[in-house]
């Protein structure tokens, strides 16, 4: 499976440090030459929390899981986890692009949700 998450990061051409694309210079060595990278493939759960007082957009849910994941190429992302049951740090997940809520104007909001792999 080749799931590509539209999360672009920069990899420093000098030292290999991964950082968000908004930085103009490498946070590690101050180099200004980068290779753009996208997160892809499976990822593992780094940390998570359960939100019991979600924002108004998620008013149809009493709670949901929010996690930080790390992809095989080192890129990290944050997003909803599809389940709150049996979450374990280090478990394998896959990104799935789908509706996560409706905004306060009633428009559909889509994003990556991380689902456990079987």
* Residue 3 pLDDT > 60: no
The three-state (H, E, C) secondary structure of 42-65, written as one string: CEEEEEEEEECCCCHHHCCCCCEE
Q: How many domains does the chain have?
A: 1
Residue 20 is part of which domain span? 4-116
Q: 100: how many CB neighbours lie within 10 A of its CB? A: 17
* pTM (2 d.p.): 0.78
Task: Provide the phi-psi class of 30: left if phi over 0, else alpha when psi is between -120 and 50, else beta.
Answer: left
Where helices occur in the chain by DSSP H, the ranges are none
pLDDT in tens, 71-116: 998 889 999 999 999 999 999 999 999 999 888 888 999 988 999 9
- The two structure tokens encoding residue 49: 């929390």
* Residue 2 pLDDT > 50: no
pLDDT of residue 1: 39
């Amino acid at each position: 499976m080749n799931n590509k998450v539209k999360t672009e990061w920069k990899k420093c051409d000098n030292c290999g440090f991964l950082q968000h694309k908004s930085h103009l210079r490498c946070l590690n060595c101050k180099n200004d030459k980068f290779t753009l990278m996208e997160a892809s493939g499976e990822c593992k759960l780094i940390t998570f929390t359960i939100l019991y007082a979600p924002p108004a957009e998620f008013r149809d849910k009493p709670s949901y899981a929010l996690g930080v994941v790390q992809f095989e190429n080192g890129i990290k992302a944050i997003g909803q986890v599809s389940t709150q049951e049996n979450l374990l740090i280090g478990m394998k997940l896959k990104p799935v692009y789908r509706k996560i809520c409706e905004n306060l104007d009633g428009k559909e909001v889509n994003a990556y949700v991380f689902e456990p792999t079987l």
